[in-house]
């Protein structure tokens, strides 16, 4: 069964994550309503189970909680994938969200990288700072070992732009973690 549980506690945050790639269901509580909504959307559209319990120094701002949650989800995803043999490896997906169009393309390669191209007209969505979308994606990609490209092709509403990106990530992950014939999709023989 492809699943993992990871905990991380620092002076700024205390985060518990469970991920199950072959199950569904969400239980998300970070103290940041819009972020909970985005993580739920990512997992539902990704077709995987995600439990996140995060307590952070929200009296400072949302930065530590969101970035550290990305770190822990990334570590859990990496652990759940094991040696990565037998997965499709690549995934790409477009998601329209009203006037916005988001795109994600990724490679579960073991070589972390982030290309992020999105502009947010509004600085905040509830208590979520729009700039934290890029920070979350970087933390996730570098801790999961994913080459991750995200692009907002257009949009006028920060909520819609952000949601399109999280949902596109979920769909691309769903494609990439699909089990194939058991061989490793690499000329090297390993990822």
128-168 pLDDT per residue, tens = 999 999 999 999 999 999 999 999 999 999 999 999 999 99
**pLDDT on residue 88:** 96
Residue 187 lies in a domain: no
Whether the Cβ atoms of residue 162 and residue 35 lie closer than 8 Å to each other = no
- CA 38 to each of CA 11, 88, 132: distance values in angstroms, whole numbers, following the listed order: 25, 25, 12
Q: Please check whether residue 189 lies inside any domain of the structure.
A: no
Could you tell me if residue 104 is inside a domain? Answer: yes
- Is 70 contained in some domain? yes
Place of tokens 């959307």: 41
CATH of the domain at 73: 3.30.230.40
Q: For the chain, how many structural domains are there in total?
A: 1
**Domain housing 172:** 3-176
- Residues of 16-50 as b/e, b for ≥16 C-beta within 10 angstroms? bbbbbbeeeebebebebebbbbbbbbbbebbbbbb
Is residue 188 included in any domain, yes or no?
no
The CA-CA-CA angle for residues 71, 73, 77, to 5°, reads 115
Using one digit for the tens of pLDDT, what is the confidence trace for 53-65?
999 999 999 999 9
Distance of CA 176 to the CA centre of its chain: 13
pTM of the model: 0.95
In a domain, 182, yes or no: no
């Amino acid at each position: 069964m492809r699943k993992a549980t990871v905990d991380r506690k620092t002076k700024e945050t205390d985060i518990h994550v469970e991920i199950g790639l072959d199950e569904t269901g969400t239980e998300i509580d970070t103290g940041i309503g819009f972020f909970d909504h985005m993580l739920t959307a990512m997992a539902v559209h990704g077709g995987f189970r995600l439990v996140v319990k995060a307590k952070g120094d929200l009296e400072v701002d949302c930065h530590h909680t969101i970035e550290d949650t990305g770190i822990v989800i990334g570590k859990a995803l990496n652990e759940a994938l094991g040696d990565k043999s037998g997965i499709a490896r690549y995934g790409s997906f477009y998601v329209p969200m009203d006037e916005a169009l988001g795109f994600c393309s990724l490679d579960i390669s073991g070589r972390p990288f982030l290309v992020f191209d999105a502009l947010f007209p509004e600085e905040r969505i509830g208590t979520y700072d729009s700039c934290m979308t890029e920070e979350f994606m970087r933390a996730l990609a570098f801790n999961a070992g994913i080459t991750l490209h995200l692009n907002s092709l257009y949009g006028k509403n920060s909520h819609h732009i952000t949601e399109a990106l999280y949902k596109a990530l979920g769909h691309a992950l769903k494609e990439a973690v699909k089990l194939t014939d058991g061989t490793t999709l690499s000329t090297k023989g390993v990822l």
